[in-house]
Structure 1
Amino acid sequence: MGRPLFYEIVDKPATSCVIAICCLVWFYIQKNGIGYAHVGLSYQTAVEGHFWRIVTSAFSHISVLHLVFNMSALWSLGVVERLTHLGLGVEFYLEYTLVLVVLSGIVVLGMYHVLINRLKVEYFRRVTAVGYSCVVFGWMTILSVKQPSSKLDLFGFLSLPISFAPFESLVFTSIIVPQASFLGHLSGIIVGYAIAWGVVHGMNSYWAVSMLGWTAVLFVYSLKRSGAYDFSFLEIESVTDPSLPSLRIVAPGDSRTLQMSAFPGGGAELV
C-alpha cells in the first residue's frame, strides 16, 4: 500500500499550498467565465503596463487537463522540500518559488522583445501565455542539478530520469500539446539553471519578504495604472514632473493623504 495522502501533505506543506491556490484560482476562473485573455501574459499587455499579469498568468489554468498535468508534475517535485541536506528544504522552496514566478515572466517577455523588435516576428506580440509550468520546469531543472539520481513521476505511472526531464518534457509537451508555450517552458529552465548554478543566489527570509512586498505593491499599482481594476481608495496623478507619477491614498471622509514617489512609468499558449 502507498503512503497515506495526509502524511504526504505534511511532508510537502509548501507544495500543497501552491496546488491549493492554483486549484482555487482555476475554480474561480471557471465559475466566473474568465478567459485566458483576461489573466494571461503577453508582450502587448506588458507594454501597456499590465505587469500584474506576470503573477496572474502563472497561477491561472484554463482547462482542467492543463491544471492536472502541471499539478501532477509539481507534486512530484515537492521532494525538494525534504532535501534539507542538499541546502534545499521548505524555506528554500518558498523563497525561490517567488523568484521563479517573477524572473521567468521577465525572461519570457525579454525573449518576446528580441523576437519582435530584432527579428521582426510580430506573431509573438499578442501571444498570451497562462499556466504554472514555467515554475514547474524551473524546479525540475534545479532538482536535476542538485539530485540527478531522482525520478520525476507524472500521473502515477510515467517516470522520467530527472537529469533529462527538463528537456525531455520540453520536447514532449511541444509535440503532444501544440498550444504549449515553448518559450515559457524554456524561460523556466533558464531561471532554474541560474538558481541551481548560483548565478541567482543569496535569497533569505528578509529578501524574500522584501521581494514579496515590492511585488505586491507593483501588482496593485499596475492594476490601478492599467485600469484593469478600480481601487477607489487609490489615486495616481501627475506631479510637477509629468514623468514621475505620485501615489496617493485617500482616506474616506478625511482630507489627509499619504504620497510617495514611484518610478516612471494573438493566440494563447499554455505554460
Structure 2
Amino acid sequence: MNLGTMYRLNTFPLLHAGFIHMIVNIFALTPLLERFEAEHGSLPTLLLFTGPFGLLPGGSYTLIERFVFRSNTAVQGASIWVFLLLAAESIKTYKQNPNFALGPYNIPTWTAPLIVNLFVAVLIPNTSFLGHLCGLAVGYLWGLGYIKFLVPNEKILRWIEGKLNLLGRLPHYVSVDQKTYGRYGVLPTTAAPRPVPTLAPLGSTQRLGP
C-alpha cells in the first residue's frame, strides 16, 4: 500500500473472488443498503459507501495486518459492508429490544452480528474474520452516532440535489427531505396527547318524579 495504490481502500468491496461470491454478497447487501438509503437519503449513501465506509474498515484492516500480525493477507468483497450495516442495525434494535432469549440465556442484541461473524468464519472457508470485524467496528460507531459527522451538511446536499435535479432525473431517488430519519434520528415530539372521550350521563341526574 502506497500513495499510488490507496484507491484500493475504496474499491476492494467491489471486487470478488468469483461469480458465486458476488451473487451471495449482492443478495445479502441489497436489502440492508436499500433500508439505509431510505433512512439517510441516496446522496449521503453514495458518499458514505464510496468514501468513509470503505476507507475506515479497509484502512484499519491494513494497519492491523501490517503492524499487529506482521502479515499481508489481501481481502476483497462487499461482505465488509454487509457486516457494517448489520452492526448499525443491531444498535437500533438494541435500543428497542436490549436482549433476545437463547434457551435460558439473555444475550444482548448488539452482539448478534459478532456471533454471525464467528459462524461465518468457522463454516465458510476463505472468509476474513478480521476484515468483517473491522466492518463491524465502523458499523457500531455509526449506529452509536460517533461518526455521523461524516455526512456533509444538509444545506450542501440540498444544493447538489437541486443543481443536478437528481430527484427528477433518477428513478427511486431518495432526497434529503424524503428520508425516514433526520440527521440525528427521530426528533421527540412535544405535542400533548389528545384526551380520550369518555361516556358521561346526558342532562341532569336530578330525580323528577315522586
Please give the range of the TM-score, normalised by the shorter of the 2 chains: 0.5 to 0.7
**Length, aligned pairs only:** 143
Residues 65, 168 of structure 1: alpha-carbon distance in 2 compared, 3 angstrom cutoff = farther
How big is each residue's C-alpha offset from its partner over 1:19-42, in whole Å with a ceiling of 9 and x where there is no partner?
A: xxxxxxxxxxxxxxxxxxxxxxxx
Partner of 2:205: none
Is 2:86 the counterpart of 1:144? no
TM-score (norm 2): 0.58
Cα distance in 2, alignment partners of residues 165 and 64 from structure 1: 28
Residues 143, 89 of structure 1: alpha-carbon distance in 2 compared, 3 angstrom cutoff = farther
Partner of 1:71: 26
1:75-154 equivalence runs, <5 A: 75-77=30-32, 78-83=34-39, 88-97=40-49, 98-116=51-69, 122=70, 124-125=71-72, 127-148=73-94
What's the secondary structure of 2:75's corresponding residue?
Answer: strand
What's the secondary structure of 1:67's corresponding residue?
Answer: helix
Cα distance in 1, alignment partners of residues 47 and 27 from structure 2: 21
Aligned-residue offset at 1:112: 1.1
TM-score (norm 1): 0.46
Aligned-residue offset at 1:142: 0.9
Cα distance in 2, alignment partners of residues 203 and 57 from structure 1: 20
Aligned-residue offset at 1:111: 1.0
2:90 partner amino acid: S
What's the secondary structure of 2:16's corresponding residue?
Answer: coil
Aligned-residue offset at 1:181: 0.8
Cα distance in 2, alignment partners of residues 101 and 141 from structure 1: 15
Partner of 2:151: 204
2:81 partner amino acid: V
CA contact (8 A) 1:80 1:143 kept: no
Partner of 2:207: none
Cα distance in 2, alignment partners of residues 113 and 181 from structure 1: 15
What's the secondary structure of 1:128's corresponding residue?
Answer: coil
Unpaired runs of 5+ in structure 1? 1-45, 117-121, 151-161, 210-271
Aligned-residue offset at 1:177: 1.7
How big is each residue's C-alpha offset from its partner over 1:106-138, in whole Å with a ceiling of 9 and x where there is no partner?
A: 11012113324xxxxx4x22x111111112211
How big is each residue's C-alpha offset from its partner over 1:36-70, in whole Å with a ceiling of 9 and x where there is no partner?
A: xxxxxxxxxx1585212212322101212211221
How big is each residue's C-alpha offset from its partner over 1:218-271, in whole Å with a ceiling of 9 and x where there is no partner?
A: xxxxxxxxxxxxxxxxxxxxxxxxxxxxxxxxxxxxxxxxxxxxxxxxxxxxxx
Q: Which one scores higher on RCO, CA 8 angstroms, separation ≥ 6?
A: 2
Alignment RMSD (CA, Å)? 2.9
Is 2:11 the counterpart of 1:51? no
Instruction: Find 2:17's aligned residue among 62, 66, 77.
Output: 62
Kindly, what percent of the aligned residue pairs are identical? 25
Aligned-residue offset at 1:82: 2.6
What's the secondary structure of 1:202's corresponding residue?
Answer: helix
Residues 55, 176 of structure 1: alpha-carbon distance in 2 compared, 3 angstrom cutoff = same
Cα distance in 1, alignment partners of residues 145 and 110 from structure 2: 18
How big is each residue's C-alpha offset from its partner over 1:173-209, in whole Å with a ceiling of 9 and x where there is no partner?
A: 10122210111101101111112212212233469x9
Is 2:121 the counterpart of 1:174? yes
Cα distance in 1, alignment partners of residues 61 and 151 from structure 2: 25
